Structure 1
Amino acid sequence: MPDAPELARPGAFRVGVRTLELVHANQPDIQKGSGVEMPVYDRPLRVEVWYPAQEKITGTTAEYSDFLGSASDPDRPLTPFTFPGRAARNVAPNTSEGPYPLVIVSHGYLGSRVLMTYLTENLASKGYLVVAIDHTESTHENPGKFTSTLYHRPLDDLFVLNEMDRFNRSGEGHFLSGMVDVSRTALLGYSMGGYGVLNAAGAGFAPGFVGAFSQMTAGSQLLATRSLSDPSYSGTVDPRVKAIVAFAPWGMQRGAWDSEGLKNLRIPTFFIAGSEDDISGYEDGVKAIYEGALNAERYLLTYLNARHNVAPNPPVSPYLEPADYMHYSEPVWDERRINNINQHFVTAFLGIYLKGMEYGKFLDLPVNSLDETWTGYMPRTSIGLEMRHSAP
C-alpha cells in the first residue's frame, strides 16, 4: 500500500515456490488412540517452500489453493477456493547467494500453509528460505482432535527443521541442496502456531496443563514430554533456532504456561497481538506471556482495538458467508494495512537476529505511536499501535 512502512516493500530477490510432501515416521496417532492404547503412524506433512530464485526465471505464477468451511462442520461445508500469488512455481533456485536463513511458519487451528502468503513471499524476496506447514489434523480440509494439535505442533516444527537440514546436505539431487542455513533459523506461528513455536523454543508446559491433557486422552502422558517436569524436554530446545515470532499465541488463558515455563524461554521473541483479542486474550493472554518471559529479549507489538486476526491474508471476498469472512477478517483494522505493518516489523526483527543487520532503529521506539512518528513510517501513519521491549 502507498502508506506502508519502510521495510514492508519486497526485497531484491525473485521468488520461487514449491510444494513438498514430508513424512514423520512412527508418531503417536492421537486421532485413533483410545483407552490406554496409543497406536503410531507415519504422519504426513505437506509444506510450501518459498526461496530466492534465479534472476532470469520463466515459470507459472503461483496460484494457491485453500478451503473455506470445515470438513467436520455440516453448517459450513468445505468449499475450495484459489487466489493468486507473486512467486513463480517450480523455478530454479538462486544458489549463488545462499545458503539462506530458514523461517518455519505454523498456521492457526483451523488453517493452512498458505494462510500468510503476503509474509512468506515477502521474506523470501529478502533472502530467506521460508517453509510453511500444513499441520495434519489441524486444517480446514483435515480437521481432527484438538488434542492432536496440542501435542504435535512443536514436534512438527522441529521435524521440518531437521528435514530442511537433511535436504540442504543431500547433494546436488535436491533443489534445496546448499540453500538452507539451519544454524540461523526462526520459528513463526499464529494462534495455535504461536503456542507451538513457544514450546518448541523453550517455554515448557505447566504441570496443570499437562494433567488436563492427560484426562482428555484417557491417561496418555504424551504432553508431559513437552513440560519442564520431563528431564528430556530441555534437550529438545534446538540451538539452531535463534529467534521466534508469535502472532496472538494461544494457551496462556488455558494454563499452558506457568512462571517457570515462561522463564525457560531464552530466545529473542517478537510478539504481535490485538489489544481486544477474544481468542487468545491480551492482558491475561499474549501480554502475560510477554511479561512472564523474563529471560528472553522480547518485543510486543500491539494493534489497539484489534481482535485475534492480526496475521492472515485479507479475506478472499467481501461476499463470503459471515463465519468464513470473519475467520480471516479483522473488524477494526484494514487487513492489508496489518499485513504491511507485519512485513515491516518481522523484516526488522529477523534482520537483526538472523542476519545481524543494523535495524535496531525500527524497533527502538516509544511505546505509544502517537508520542512521535515511528522510524520507518510516513508522517501521520504510525497510529493505533504500541511497542514494548524488555531485555532479560
Structure 2
Amino acid sequence: MKIKAPFLFTLPLLIFFFTYTISFAQAQSEPFIYGDLLPDAPELAAGGEYSVGVRTLDFVNENQLDILNYGKGDDSLYNRPLKVEVWYPSKNSNKSDELISYDEVMGQNGSPTRPIIPFTFLGRASRDANPLYSDGSFPLVIVSHGYTGSRYLMTYLTENLASKGYVVVAIDHTEATFRDAAGFQSTLLNRSLDDLFVLNEMARLEKDGNSFLKDLVDTENTALIGYSMGGYGAVNVAGAGYSPQAAQLFGGMTGGSNALLKRTVGNPEFEASIDPRIKVIVAFAPWGMQRGVWNAEGLAGIKIPSLFIAGSKDDISGYEDGTKAIYDGAINSERYLLTFIEARHNVAPNPAPKESLNPELDINEYLRYADSVWDSRRMNNINQHFVTAFLGKYLKGESSYQKYLDVNADPEAKEWPGFKPRTTIGLEMDQKKPNN
C-alpha cells in the first residue's frame, strides 16, 4: 500500500501535537507552589543551585518584661517563648523531590468573627534534611513577620534564599501571630528585642557541636528582613532609635512603663545594642513613621545598606509619610526604594491561600495576603529578584549583582537589567548614597 505524500507531511505534525498536548496537561496538573516562576518573572527570581532543608526550633528568652501584665503584681517578668523555622542548603541530591506541607492557620486569636481555621500549603523544601557542610558556612538571614502573621508568611522568599546559599530563620513572634495575637504593646516593645535574641541564639548554636547549625551558619554576616511590624523592628535594630514621642505614647499605653526608653535615640543602652553582625536590612512596608515613631535624628542612625519595598497606596504604614519618609530620612545609609505603584500594604506575603476564597469567611482572611491591583505571585517574583541582588551585593560582596540594582544607570535603556521586555510597568526604583 502506498502512503500519500500529504499524510507523510502531516505525520510529524500529529506527533508534535500529541506530545505537546500531553506535556501541557502534565504541566497543568502540577501545583503552583508559592515562589514558583511566572512567565514574566525577572532573572534573579529563579531558585538557586542548592537543595533546601527545613527544621523547626524552639527558643526561650528568659526573664523578659511581661508588658501585657505590667503593674498587675509580682515582678512582671516571664520566660518568652519563640518558635522559629530554619531553611538551609541541604545534601538532597534531587531538588525535584522537594515538596513539603506547612501547617498554617487563618483567623485572629480572640476575634469573634475570625475564628482560627487550620489549613496547609505546599513548599519546596525537605523536612529535617541533612545540611550541606562541604561548601562552608552560609550568611544568616533573619525574617520577621507583621502583626499578625507567622514564620510561614513569606515562604516564597525564605525557601528561595536558602536555595541560593543562605541560612534563613523566620520567627513566630509571641503574642503577635494568628494563633496567639495579644495586646499591641507587646509587639511595640518586643519586636527588635526578639530579632536580637534570635541572632544571639543562632550564634550560640553556630558553636554548639550538637547542633546542625555548627559550621553551617555565619552569624557575623547577617541580614534582617522585616514586613510591617517586622519592618518597624528592623529599622530600629539597624540603628534608628525610637523618638521621645514614641516612648511617651508607649508609656501611656502601658500604665506608665518606660520600657521603650531603652530603644530610643540617644539612649546609651540602645546605642550599645546596635549589632555589627547585622550588615543589611530589607524593610517591607515598615510601620510607624506616620505615628511619629522616628524623627530625623533617629533615622540618621541607620548606617548600613538598606532596601525598602512598599506600595504607593499603602494605607497601613503610609507611603509618602511612611516608608518613603523613612527612606529619605536614612541619610547615612546607602539605600534603595522599590515601589509597587498603586499597591497597598501587602507587598511581602505569600499569595492568599485557596481556603481564604470561601465567600462565607471574613474577607480579611483574603485581604491579609492579597492586593487589589497587583498579582501577589508577580510581586513575590520581583521581591525574590531584588532581594537576591541586594543581599548578593551587600551581604556576600559579589559586585556582579550591582547592575540589577542600578536600574536607572542608563537613561537610554528601555528595560531594567534582568527583566523581560515590557515587564517593568508599575515599578519604580530609587537609590540614594549616604551623606557622609
Instruction: Please classify the TM superposition score into its range, dividing by the shorter chain length.
Output: over 0.9
2:428 maps to which residue?
386
Deviates more, 1:49-58 or 1:308-317: 49-58
Structure 1 stretches lacking a partner, 5+ long? none
SS at match of 1:271: strand
Per-residue deviation at 1:161?
Answer: 0.5
Per-residue deviation at 1:56?
Answer: 2.8
Alignment of 1:112-127 (within 5 A): 112-127=150-165
1:338 aligned onto 2:379: yes
SS at match of 2:125: strand
1:319 aligned onto 2:357: yes
Measure the CA separation in 2 of the matches of 1:364 and 1:374. Answer: 9
1:376 maps to which residue?
418
Structure 2 stretches lacking a partner, 5+ long? 1-37
Letter of the aligned partner of 1:314 in structure 2? Answer: P
SS at match of 2:60: strand
Per-residue deviation at 1:65?
Answer: 1.5
Letter of the aligned partner of 2:49 in structure 1? Answer: A
What per-residue deviation string (whole Å, max 9, x for no partner) do you get for residues 78-122 of structure 1? Answer: 111110111000010001112000000000000000000000000
2:93 maps to which residue?
56
Letter of the aligned partner of 1:365 in structure 2? Answer: V
Measure the CA separation in 1 of the matches of 2:179 and 2:367. Answer: 18
Letter of the aligned partner of 1:350 in structure 2? Answer: L
Per-residue deviation at 1:61?
Answer: 3.3
> 8 Å contact 1:369–1:384 — kept in the other structure?
no
SS at match of 1:73: coil
> 8 Å contact 1:366–1:372 — kept in the other structure?
no
What is the TM-score with the length of structure 1 in the denominator?
Answer: 0.97
> 8 Å contact 1:207–1:229 — kept in the other structure?
no
Runs of 4+ in 1 over 6 A off after TM superposition: 57-60, 367-371
1:21 aligned onto 2:58: yes
Percent pairwise identity:
57
> 8 Å contact 2:221–2:277 — kept in the other structure?
yes
Deviates more, 1:193-202 or 1:312-321: 312-321
2:325 maps to which residue?
288
2:394 maps to which residue?
353
1:12 aligned onto 2:49: yes
Measure the CA separation in 2 of the matches of 1:232 and 1:132. Answer: 26
2:370 maps to which residue?
329
2:10 maps to which residue?
none
> 8 Å contact 2:222–2:278 — kept in the other structure?
yes
1:94 maps to which residue?
132
Measure the CA separation in 1 of the matches of 2:323 and 2:410. Answer: 18
Alignment of 1:66-105 (within 5 A): 66-105=104-143
SS at match of 2:190: helix
> 8 Å contact 2:307–2:337 — kept in the other structure?
yes
Measure the CA separation in 2 of the matches of 1:319 and 1:6. Answer: 31
Letter of the aligned partner of 2:133 in structure 1? Answer: T
Cα distance 1:213–1:368, how it changes in 2: closer, same or farther (>3 A)? farther
Cα distance 1:257–1:368, how it changes in 2: closer, same or farther (>3 A)? farther
SS at match of 2:49: coil
1:308 aligned onto 2:349: no
What per-residue deviation string (whole Å, max 9, x for no partner) do you get for residues 258-313 of structure 1? Answer: 00000011110000000000000000000000000000010000000000000000
Cα distance 1:367–1:275, how it changes in 2: closer, same or farther (>3 A)? farther
Measure the CA separation in 2 of the matches of 1:384 and 1:41. Answer: 47
2:174 maps to which residue?
136
Measure the CA separation in 1 of the matches of 2:172 and 2:100. Answer: 17
Per-residue deviation at 1:367?
Answer: 9.1
Per-residue deviation at 1:383?
Answer: 1.0
Among 137, 156, 165, the residue aligned to 2:203: 165
What per-residue deviation string (whole Å, max 9, x for no partner) do you get for residues 349-371 of structure 1? Answer: 00001111121100111299997
* Alignment: residue pair count: 391
> 8 Å contact 1:54–1:92 — kept in the other structure?
yes
Letter of the aligned partner of 1:377 in structure 2? Answer: F
> 8 Å contact 1:369–1:383 — kept in the other structure?
no
Per-residue deviation at 1:183?
Answer: 1.1
Per-residue deviation at 1:204?
Answer: 0.3
> 8 Å contact 1:31–1:145 — kept in the other structure?
yes
Per-residue deviation at 1:60?
Answer: 7.4
Deviates more, 1:83-92 or 1:317-326: 317-326
Measure the CA separation in 1 of the matches of 2:263 and 2:75. Answer: 17
> 8 Å contact 2:108–2:115 — kept in the other structure?
yes
